[in-house]
Amino acid sequence: MPDTPPATVSPQTAPVDNARERARAAYTAGQDAYTAGRFAAAEEHFALADSLMPAVQAKYWRAMSLDQLGNVPAALAAFERTLASPDKAQLGADKVANAEARQRALAATPAELALTTVPAGARVNVSGVDSSTPTPLTLRLAPGRHVVRVVLDGYQPQQIELNVTAGEKLTPTLTLVKTTSGATGLAPIPALGADAAPAVAERSRVPGYVTLGIAGASAVVGTIFGIQALQDKSDFDENPTTGKADDVERNALIADMAFGVTLTLGITGIVLLVADDPVPAAPQVGALAPQRLRVTPYVAPSGAGAAATLTF
């Protein structure tokens, strides 16, 4: 019986078959590891299988393994590659829907910022929002761009910009530099020198005294006309006439007006005397002339009152 010639293998086919077998073996090992809960080993096997023979099934299960490991950035990228594969329909509707759901959930996962400063105890503001906890502290940040500002009394403020990705873990340490002024980086307000200090003088009491003087004069006028009104009333009671009635009414009106002025100016004068607000000193021009107060009662056909004249 003649010998059967050995089967020939094409040089071009042998490496492909070898890679396919290795990929199949790696994929099977990945499934076994995933089922056993050894997700790190499963991820390595699926990654090897996909590198030898790219396949959407290997991509999907690698993404699932990374998701189980809690590696949010890597899992998110793996699900995005799975969904971008033109062969994703081979997974079946259930796995495609699951990949889409996990991709959305992972994309919204906050990043974690563990911020440390040297020295500790600095105040932190993230994108305009103050943190109630001083450094060191841990914050959860939404994916995207954030501006972190750190302030500590006696040290120069520092500011960093972060473009965080979903689930990223950041651990920056900021070393603060002391300021020469001991402030927080804001320009100190220069103190006024002796020459630059504004002149402040004690408030003059003269207006208060003058006002009270007028009030006193009005009280005197009111008393005089009040007494006169009482006398006229007595005369009217003994001998009622129209003229005497007019006198009573006129004098009583003048007395009422005078006492009204007394009350108003008395309160005003007291306020002027007790007010302690300092006023800028005005330049003195010449000497003050003696002050004179003149109070003159008057009676007119349409009314009566008192006129006060103050001469400085």
Is 23 in the same domain as 80?
A: yes
Who contacts 256 (Cβ-Cβ below 8 Å, separation ≥6)? 222
Looking at the structure, do residues 158 and 235 belong to the same domain, yes or no?
Answer: no
Asked whether residue 188 is domain-assigned, the answer is no
What is the secondary structure of 35-48 as a DSSP string?
A: HTT-HHHHHHHHHH
Range of the domain at 210: 200-311
Asked if residue 182 belongs to a domain, the reply is no
Domains: count for the chain: 3
- Residues 120 and 83 both lie in one domain: no
Amino acid at the residue 244: K
Q: What is the pLDDT of residue 190?
A: 47
> In this predicted structure, what is the pLDDT of residue 186?
45
CATH number, position 134: 2.60.40.1120
Q: Pick from 158, 175, 192: which residue ends a domain?
A: 175
Dist. CA 191–CA 175, nearest whole Å: 31
Residue 186: partners with Cβ closer than 8 Å, 6 or more residues away: none
Compute the distance between CA of residue 111 and CA of residue 104 in angstroms, rounded to an integer. Answer: 15
Pairing of strands 111-118, 169-170: parallel
> 283 and 235, same structural domain?
yes
Residue 126 shares a structural domain with residue 64: no
Q: Which amino acid is present at 28?
A: T
Task: Write out the chain's pLDDT in tens, 312 residues.
Answer: 444 444 444 555 556 779 999 999 999 999 999 999 999 999 999 999 999 999 999 999 999 999 999 999 999 999 999 999 999 999 999 999 999 999 999 999 999 999 999 999 999 999 999 999 999 999 999 999 999 999 999 999 999 999 999 989 999 999 999 998 644 444 444 444 444 444 445 566 777 777 777 877 777 777 887 788 787 777 777 777 877 777 767 877 787 777 777 778 778 777 767 765 554 444 444 444 444 545 455 544 444 455 555 454
Is residue 130 within 8 Å of residue 104, measured between CB atoms? no
Final residue belonging to a domain, choices 63, 91, 107: 107
Do 269 and 300 reside in the same domain of the chain?
A: yes
Q: 180 in a domain, yes or no?
A: no
Residue 4 domain flag: no
User: Do 71 and 118 lie in a common domain?
Assistant: no
Q: Tell me the pLDDT tens digit for each residue of 87-128.
A: 999 999 999 999 999 999 999 999 999 999 999 999 999 999
CATH code of the domain covering residue 81: 1.25.40.10
Domain check: are 230 and 138 in the same one? no
Report pLDDT digits (tens) over 160-187: 999 999 989 999 999 999 998 644 444 4
The confidence score (pLDDT) of residue 181 equals 61
> Which of 107, 127, 148 marks a domain boundary?
107
Q: Are residues 245 and 284 in the same domain?
A: yes
Report the residue count for the chain.
312
Among residues 273, 275, 263, 274, the alpha carbon closest in space to that of 216 is found at 263
Residue 292, pLDDT score: 52
Looking only at the bridges linking them, the beta strands covering 303-311 and 111-118 are unpaired
**Beta pairing partners, 175:** 118
In this structure, are 252 and 149 located in the same domain?
Answer: no
- Look at residue 255 and tell me if it is in a domain: yes
Same domain membership, residue 88 and residue 21: yes
Same domain membership, residue 227 and residue 152:
no
298 lies in a domain? Answer: yes
Residue 194 lies in a domain: no
The reply to whether 2 falls in a domain is no
